[in-house]
Amino acid sequence: MSLTNGGHLGLFENSEARARQQINVAWLKLQISMLPQPSTRPAGSVMRALNDLSESDSNARNAMPPPSITSTNGVKRQGSNLPEPAQKRKTLIERAAESVRPTSGISRPASAAGQNVSSTSLYRSSSNVSSISRTGSISSRNTSNSSYTGSLSSGIRPPTSLKSGTSTGRPKSSYGSNKPSGAASRPVSIADLQAAHEANANKSKQMSLPKLRGPRSMIDPSWNSMPPPARPRRVSNSGQSNARRIPSVVIQMRDKNRDISLSAQLDRLHIGDSILEPYEPPQTPTKCQSPSRIPKASPVPFATPTIKDTPRLKRKSPMKMRNFLTPHTNIELPDPDERYNDFKKMFEDYKQMYQDTQIKIDSAREDTNHYREKMTQLEQERSSQTESIITLKAENSTLQYQVESTEKSMQDSNRQYQQRLEEIRQAHRVDLDILRQEQREEVEKLKNDHKEEIRELKQKYQEELDQERSKKNEALSQVSTQGALEKQRHQTDLDRKDQEIAAANLDLKRVESMLERERQMNNDLRDSLKTAGDNASRTESTRQGLQAKVAYLESDSKSQSEAYAAMEKCMNEAIVKSEAIEEKLRTEEALRRRLHNQVQELKGNIRVFCRVRPTLSAEEELTRMKFPDPEESTEIEVRGLDEKNAMGKDVTKTLPFAFDRVFDPSQTNDHVYHEISQLIQSALDGYNVCIFAYGQTGSGKTYTMSSEDGMIPRALRQIYSTSKDLEDRGWRYKMEGSFVEVYNEELRDLLAEEKSTKKLEIHHDMENEETTITNATTLSLDNNEQVESILAQAMARRSVAATKANEHSSRSHSVFILKLVGKNSVTGKESKGTLNLIDLAGSERIKNAETSGQRLKETQSINRSLSSLGDVIGALGQGPATGPETRLSLNNTRESLSVAYIPYRNSKLTYLLQMSLGGNCKTLMFVMVAPEKKCLGETITSLKFAEKVSRTRVGVAKKVK
């Protein structure tokens, strides 16, 4: 739409511009044609001007650069292609007036040459205007062209700067066109003027005015580039001359400001040898007022020549008036006839020029009419274009309105759609909320139902579970009760079976021993029987002989009496032999006991066994120990503490120890007891046997002595069993046991009632070599059940005592004393032995123990008693070991003190064990060793003490009387 409008407008403006240019050119031609023809030079000037115009026209047509090319002075036109802001549309007349409106460049004074020669100035001025107009035409043409090509730059007009460059737009063919404007100050000589006039005259001859006329302007494209009617610049009349005043022809244009006076121009002609005045530019630039209307052909634009400007010329150059001709001027005047002829010729020229001009006017009138027609057509076209534009604008407005209404309706519909959408969304949201609420309620309801169901199910299952559990519990309790009963019954049966087995074993052993004895006796009896058989056979033969004798005696009574006496003699001899055999058997039993005792004596009266318990924790660091003789098992090597030798080097010694027997950690209580069982037998044989365990706390003393399979229970069982075996040989034993402890140098009864406050005291019967503890509870070991009872009670008391005195459980020496009194009913012999099984308190260094108060007292007491034990053993080893003498000397006589002093009274423990230590008793010491390295110090101390004891020889044990 805009393109079409632009195209229409551009076309219209082009037409308008062309019309205006045509009018201007016609107007110019008309003016030129109306000019009075000078006789010679002016005509030349006019012709030159027309020729310039033609050349300008030609130049414009032929050498006109494209719209974007530079102007004639080489300066590129600026902004010719730039769109101008929209302007108020003007009428064709106004535009025509604008195109001829003089610019500053136009009003600029012409060159000096133009100023000095009026005609030249006029035509050059015309040329200038023509060039300006051509420039304008260029602009118009450019506009026209751009209207077709650019179609958006229809309103582009030549920039003012281009218009102002009139000096640059001067045609090259114009007079002085090759001169720079700055050279205008040079005075022009008459010779120059004449040369110029002649040149113009020659050109005017070549010039054909009719070429400007004719309908060519309508069909020739170059006509479009014709300049607008150039308005002759008002030439100032400043050019004064001291020459004679010559009536000048003034061409008065419609605008009197633009009067061009030929007379003034003629005044500038140099007459004679007068000095030509330099051109003086007008004080104020001449304004070329554009006609508000297209000039009509009717008014006569020319005025009659006047000379009214002459005084003004005089007035402007008062100084030069002195050079005017005066009656006194001595100047040789030219010939009047010649001057007349010149004037006449000039007149003819003017006349001719007038006629030509008249012809031109006519032609111009025709052109004007033609232009008017054209104008009318153009006006019609314009109006039609305007109407079409209006129509198009209306259509555009309608379309815009439709577009706006459509957009508005679209916006409305969109808004309605949005509203509808929002309503739908709102409704959807509401529905969704309702649905959500319903679903939430439903879910809640379902949850509640499920919870209720779950709760009911839980309750139901819980009840069932409880019932099932109660049933199970009942069944379990029944089963457990039955199991417990069954277990108890089984345990009872088991115990009974064990007892039966033990009894059976004992019986078996007893039977075996009895069998052995019976076998022996049988053998003896067989021997006796054999002897008796022999005797009987002999007796029988004797009897038979006697019977024969009786028979003979009957026949001979004397011979019978002699046979009876022989038989009686044989019988008496058999009885004697049998008695001799029994005596021999008793003698052999005594020999066995003696040999057994000798074996024990060979082993030593104080023997030392070493036992290393196994480690109780795998994380503990152990002492490096070696058992170098696994077969004999009598040595042990202990890697000692780190020490520094004399050189200051770290030295770790390996300490070897040798004992009667060494038990490594793998050895059990069974292995240990097997080694001491012969010693237990000695107690039955009437010896005092003392077995004690020595060692630091936690080294395994109680485990070895008092545990269920320890030495005490095993000893009791063996003693009871052996005593029963000896019954077959006539021995009857009475066994009484007591269990005491020595705590802080006090005796406590472990078998007494809990609330017993009886004080225990030790009494030695040196005559009977018997030790008694007053107020101590003694349990009799008369049968197998009693043995187990004593063991159980002793262990219970021991545990009760340990529990009761837990704070001093390892702080006391426990002593189990079993007295064995036997009597052989056959031989009538008696034996008294005592078995002392002692679990000593743990040896402990005070500096290692956190001891204070009661604890310190306990430790001191323990250490003192242990030290006394060592002293006693050491004294026994150093003494004469005479046995009874020693005891007697210790207890009864001061004289014997010199023999040996055994410090039994230094502690309750040694005093209690006085009868069990020394030459007439068999002593076995267990040195218990803990394998942990943290116990290494105590271990070495214990081993050294045990080694000292082991080296002690206390004489030969004797049977207690």
Ligand X SMILES: Nc1ncnc2c1ncn2[C@@H]1O[C@H](COP(=O)(O)OP(=O)(O)OP(=O)(O)O)[C@@H](O)[C@H]1O
Asked if residues 903 and 918 have their Cβ atoms less than 8 Å apart, the reply is no
Sign of the Cα torsion 503, 508, 513, 517 reads positive
Q: Which residues does residue 626 pair with via DSSP β-bridges, in sequence order?
A: 637
**Which residue, 353 or 840, has its beta carbon nearer to ligand X?**
840
User: Binder to ligand X among 38, 42, 155, 695 (CB under 6 A)?
Assistant: 695
**Strand-strand pairing, 830-839 and 813-824:** antiparallel
- Which is nearest to 122 in space by CA: 130, 132, 114? 114
Check binding of 703 to ligand X (CB under 6 A): yes
Q: What is the dihedral of CA 374, 379, 381, 383, to 10 degrees?
A: -170
The tokens of 915 are what?
């009868």
Please tell me the distance from the alpha carbon of residue 175 to that of residue 45, in angstroms, as a whole number. 10
Query: Is 74 labeled as ligand-binding?
Result: no
Q: Is 694 one of the binding residues for ligand X (CB under 6 A)?
A: no
Query: Is the CB of residue 171 less than 8 Å from the CB of residue 130?
Result: yes
Contact region with ligand X (CB under 6 A), list: 289-297, 343-351, 620-628, 693-701: 693-701
What radius of gyration, in Å, describes the C-alpha atoms of the chain? 86
With beta carbons less than 8 A apart as the criterion, state whether 818 and 735 touch: yes
845 binding ligand X? (CB under 6 A) = no
Smaller CB separation from ligand X, 10 or 710: 710
Name the one range near ligand X by CB under 6 A: 215-223, 700-708, 788-796, 875-883.
Answer: 700-708
Q: Which stretch binds ligand X (CB under 6 A): 221-229, 241-249, 610-618, 860-868?
A: 610-618
Interaction of residue 714 with ligand X, rule CB under 6 A = no
654 pairs with which residues across the strands?
A: 639
Interface stretch with ligand X, choices 364-372, 562-570, 637-645, 698-706 (CB under 6 A): 698-706
Q: Residue 134 has what DSSP assignment?
A: H
CB of 700 to ligand X, least distance (A): 3
Task: Give yes or no for a contact between 170 and 123, defined as CB atoms under 8 angstroms apart.
Answer: no
Does 813 engage in binding with ligand X (CB under 6 A)? no
Amino acid in position 284: T
955 annotated as a binding-site residue: no
Near ligand X by CB under 6 A: residue from 105, 545, 700, 833: 700
Give yes or no for residue 931 binding ligand X (CB under 6 A). Answer: no
Interface with ligand X, residue 918, by CB under 6 A: no
Burial class (CB in 10 A: 0-12, 13-18, 19+), 36: buried
Structure tokens at 102: 């003089």
The size of the interface with ligand X (CB under 6 A), counted in residues, is 14
The reply to whether 105 sits in an annotated binding site is no
Alpha carbons 100 and 121: distance in angstroms, whole number? 18
Q: Which stretch binds ligand X (CB under 6 A): 18-26, 95-103, 249-257, 701-709?
A: 701-709
As given in the structure block, the two tokens for residue 872 are 């006693």
Q: How far is the CB of 634 from ligand X (least distance, A)?
A: 19
Give the other-Cβ count within 10 Å of 543's Cβ: 19
Q: Is position 696 annotated in a ligand binding site?
A: yes
Give the integer Cα–Cα distance in Å for 673 and 680.
10
697 binds ligand X (CB under 6 A): yes
- Binding of ligand X by 702 (CB under 6 A): yes
Binding of residue 708 to ligand X (CB under 6 A): no
The first and second tokens of residue 691, run together, are 């077995």
Asked if 723 is part of the footprint of ligand X (rule: CB under 6 A), the reply reads: no
Burial of 53 (0-12, 13-18, 19+ CB in 10 A): buried
* Residue 843 touching ligand X (CB under 6 A): no
Residue 185, C-beta contacts closer than 8 angstroms, at least 6 positions apart: 112, 278
> Does residue 126 have a known ligand-binding role?
no
By CB under 6 A, residue 240 contacts ligand X: no
- For ligand X, which stretch binds (CB under 6 A), given 319-327, 528-536, 699-707, 757-765? 699-707
Rounded least distance, CB 513 to ligand X, Å: 32
Tokens representing 432 are 């969704």
Q: Tokens standing for 195?
A: 């040369």
Q: How many CB atoms lie within 10 A of CB 294?
A: 21
Segment lying near ligand X (by CB under 6 A), choices 6-14, 36-44, 335-343, 695-703: 695-703
The answer to the question of residue 698 lying near ligand X (CB under 6 A) is: yes
Closer to ligand X by Cβ: residue 713 or 842: 842
Q: What is the dihedral of CA 457, 459, 462, 466, to 10 degrees?
A: -140
Tell the smallest beta-carbon distance from residue 844 to ligand X (Å). 9
> Considering the rule CB under 6 A, would residue 614 count as an interface residue with ligand X?
yes
Give the nearest distance from C-beta 936 to ligand X in angstroms.
16
Q: How far is the CB of 746 from ligand X (least distance, A)?
A: 18
| 710 makes contact with ligand X (CB under 6 A) | no
Run of H or E residues at 534: helix 336-554
Q: Which CB sits closer to ligand X, 437 or 799?
A: 799
6 is in an annotated binding site: no
Residue numbers 466-525 binding ligand X by CB under 6 A = none
Interface with ligand X includes 907 (CB under 6 A)? Answer: no
∠ CA(879), CA(885), CA(889), 5° rounding?
85
| 33 binding ligand X? (CB under 6 A) | no
The count of other CB atoms within 10 Å of the CB of residue 633 is 20
Which residue lies nearer to ligand X by CB, 703 or 911? 703
Answer yes or no whether residue 942 interacts with ligand X by CB under 6 A.
no
Instruction: Choose, by CB under 6 A, the member of 699, 859, 910, 952 that binds ligand X.
Output: 699
Q: Does 810 bind ligand X (CB under 6 A)?
A: yes
- The per-residue DSSP string of 118-131 comes to HHHHHHHHHHHHHH
Q: Which residues contact 591 (CB under 8 A, 6 or more apart)?
A: none
Interface characters, 368-407, with ligand X (x: CB under 6 A): ----------------------------------------
> In this chain, which stretch among 300-308, 583-591, 696-704, 779-787 interacts with ligand X, using CB under 6 A?
696-704
Is residue 713 within 8 A of residue 791, CB to CB? The reply is yes
Q: What's the angle, vertex CA 221, arms to CA 204 and CA 47, rounded to 5?
A: 10
Nearer to ligand X, 703 or 733 (CB): 703
Query: Applying CB under 6 A, does 681 fall inside the site for ligand X?
Result: no
Tell me whether residue 79 is annotated as binding.
no
State yes or no: 697 annotated in a binding site: yes
Binding status of residue 613 toward ligand X by CB under 6 A: yes
Are 655 and 623 in contact, with CB atoms under 8 Å apart? no
Task: Provide, rounded to whole angstroms, the least separation between the CB of residue 577 and ligand X.
Answer: 56
Residue numbers in the known binding site for ATP are: 695-702
Residue numbers in the known binding site are: 695-702
Interface residues toward ligand X, by CB under 6 A: 613-614, 616, 695, 697-703, 810, 842, 928
